[in-house]
Amino acid sequence: MKQTIVFTGGGSAGHVTVNAALIPHFREKGWNIHYIGSEKGIERDIVSELRGVTYHGIATGKLRRYLDWNNVKDPFKVVKGVWQSYQLIKRLKPDAVFSKGGFVSVPVVMGAWLNRVPAVIHESDLTPGLANRLSIPFAKKICTTFPETAKHVPSNKAVHVGAVVREELFRGESGKGHDLCGFVRGKPVLLIMGGSLGSQRINRAVRNNIDALTEMFQVVHLCGKGNVERSLESRKYRQFEFLKSELPDVLAMTDLVVSRAGSNSIYEFLALHKPMLLIPLSRAASRGDQIANAESFRARGFAEVLEEEQLTDETLLQKITRLYERKESYIATMKREAETATLHRLISLIESTASV
């Protein structure tokens, strides 16, 4: 009889990436695959592009750390989501649930627990986010990306698996990246990523430095939806709101990366040996997870870090210049990092959990 798995996770692309990397492997193994996400979230759009997955939308509320009228209404949505998840999982009878986090995952993991279906959680950041912290008591195993995360979760549940890197990123072709951007071969390429929505502060500092940056580099700028300024386009400066299938080719030609410090992205840069300048989201705009991620990478010799509060036109240019001058040292350090078959280790863990 075919085994069945339910995936969950959403709210941002980062909460879907690992699921999208795992799903083809379970499809090849002949599993029935279902995805429980929010009714209108980004995860629905991403999962709709994957073959062999049945999507189920549930009610979900956001768990905010600030005063908002929706804080009164959203707990009722979460309760509704738990009931919907319980009913779905009871009907689907999965052998396992895999959660990547995000607020939509909380009712799903609870629904699995109520049905006595084992749930495996994957935590990308150094410290667990609020959604995963709420889900941990109901999960069988918590897979960690950073080794330091083990001290933040129950020791009998923690399993350090490392980062899951999308396999297609290793198949990028630099020539296609150059052709996409109209860049010449031989001149270094700087890739700037401000997150899925872009970063106004990073965008502004980059554009204020564009003459100096294009003296040294050809620049690819992923600036977020609605943030492209066509008047600045040149043979050395190309802008995109975001990249999907073209990203592996652009990364293949990239020499340096300036990025936020989301765990999925920075581990991908590490796997590809791309020297990086990380500008983590400030504590004013987040719970501080990106700051912890960036500090871990700085301490291990993988990245330069520029705190957002210290970001100016001058400091950005100084940090990028410093990174370029030391790029060979960073590449050597990243290459010494042990290669691990994280994806297949995670698949084995899910399979063994399902068979218990």
The whole-number pLDDT of residue 264 equals 87
Give 228-237's long-range contacts (Cβ < 8 A, gap of 24+). 232/207, 235/182, 235/183, 236/183, 237/210, 237/213
Say whether both 67 and 81 belong to one domain. yes
Query: DSSP letter at 244?
Result: S
Say whether both 196 and 115 belong to one domain. no
Residue 167 has pLDDT above 80, yes or no: yes
Q: Which residue has the tokens 């150059």?
A: 178
**Cβ-based burial of 329 (10 A; exposed 0-12, middle 13-18, buried ≥19):** exposed
| Contact (CB, 8 A) for 223 and 194 | yes
For the chain, give the percent of residues with pLDDT over 90. 71
Say whether both 147 and 222 belong to one domain. no
Q: Where are the alpha helices (DSSP H) in the chain?
A: 14-28, 42-47, 70-92, 105-114, 130-135, 174-181, 200-208, 210-216, 247-253, 263-271, 289-299, 313-325, 327-336, 342-355
CATH of the domain at 59: 3.40.50.2000
Say whether both 134 and 228 belong to one domain. no
Q: Which residue has the tokens 């293949």?
A: 252
- In this structure, the number of other CB atoms found within 10 A of the CB of residue 56 comes to 19
Say whether both 180 and 227 belong to one domain. yes
- In this structure, the number of other CB atoms found within 10 A of the CB of residue 337 comes to 14
Residue 67 has pLDDT above 90, yes or no: no
149: confidence class by pLDDT, cuts 50, 70, 90:
very high
DSSP sequence for 57-118: EE------SS--THHHHHHHHHHHHHHHHHHHHHHH--SEEEE--STTHHHHHHHHHHTT--
The whole-number pLDDT of residue 229 equals 93
pLDDT in tens, 201-215: 999 999 999 999 999
pLDDT in tens, 279-291: 998 877 677 889 9
Number of domains in the chain: 2
Mapping DSSP to helix (H, G, I), strand (E, B) and coil, where does residue 263 land?
helix
Residue-wise burial string across 89-107, b where 16 or more C-beta atoms lie within 10 A, e elsewhere: beebebbbbbbbbbbbbbb
Say whether both 20 and 62 belong to one domain. yes
Say whether both 151 and 182 belong to one domain. no
pLDDT in tens, 86-123: 999 999 999 999 999 888 999 999 999 999 999 999 99
Residue 302 CB partners (closer than 8 Å, separation 6+):
266, 270, 276, 330, 333, 334, 337
How long a stretch of residues is the chain? 356
73: confidence class by pLDDT, cuts 50, 70, 90:
low
Residue 162 has pLDDT above 90, yes or no: no
Say whether both 175 and 263 belong to one domain. yes
Say whether both 45 and 125 belong to one domain. yes
The whole-chain average pLDDT of the chain stands at 91
Residue 65 has pLDDT above 70, yes or no: no
The whole-number pLDDT of residue 72 equals 53
Mapping DSSP to helix (H, G, I), strand (E, B) and coil, where does residue 31 land?
coil
Say whether both 331 and 344 belong to one domain. no
Query: DSSP letter at 305?
Result: E
Distance CA 287, CA 186 (A): 41
Say whether both 17 and 138 belong to one domain. yes
Say whether both 172 and 148 belong to one domain. no
Distance CA 40, CA 45 (A): 8
The whole-number pLDDT of residue 13 equals 77
The whole-number pLDDT of residue 317 equals 97
Region 144-170: mean pLDDT is 90
Domain that includes residue 64, residue range? 4-162+340-355
